[in-house]
Amino acid sequence: CATSPGTRESPSNRVIAADRVAARAAATAASLVGAPYRYGGAGPDDFDCSGLVYYSYRLAGVTVPRVSRDQMRASRPLQLDEARVGDLVFFSIAGKVSHVGIYLGDHRFVHAPSTGRTVAIASLRQPYYQRHFLRAGRLDVLFAGAPDG
């Protein structure tokens, strides 16, 4: 949205706009359920986990890093109970970031799981994901100029 000369966008409007972008990215990722996994895939026909995040946010108008480790670095840490639709959820195996998905709310997330599988919606309540959950994160790029808190 444009503002007229001499007016400033309010911080609350920036947060609302960021939430809309995040929700668009989540909706895009969810619409890709069933697309095949391919290591290194970043759409539009196949995806790996970070490629799904990259592609979904790119279609929502935001450029994010391409790999999960960098996506985590580009996000503000959150507790799961603070996560909103479009935030990222990160998973760790052997002490390093190894997987990422996009939070859909109600402990659900969309992700590209692994070779031989397809983009799917999963629950963070599943024991596997509970064991490997590292943290949630909100992409800093969404809140450029918005106040902390």
The single residue of 1, 49, 107, 132 carrying the catalytic annotation is 49
Among candidates 42, 57, 23, 36, which has minimal Cα distance to 113?
A: 36
107 is catalytic: no
| Residue 49 a catalytic site member | yes
Q: How many CB atoms lie within 10 A of CB 140?
A: 13
CA 132 to chain centroid, in Å, comes to 17
Cα separation of 127 and 146, whole Å?
A: 36
Q: Tell me which of 1, 107, 111, 132 is the catalytic residue.
A: 111
Active site residue 111: yes
From start to end of the chain, where are the E strands? 75-78, 88-93, 96-105, 108-111, 120-123, 133-139
User: Looking at the annotation, which residues are catalytic?
Assistant: 49, 99, 111
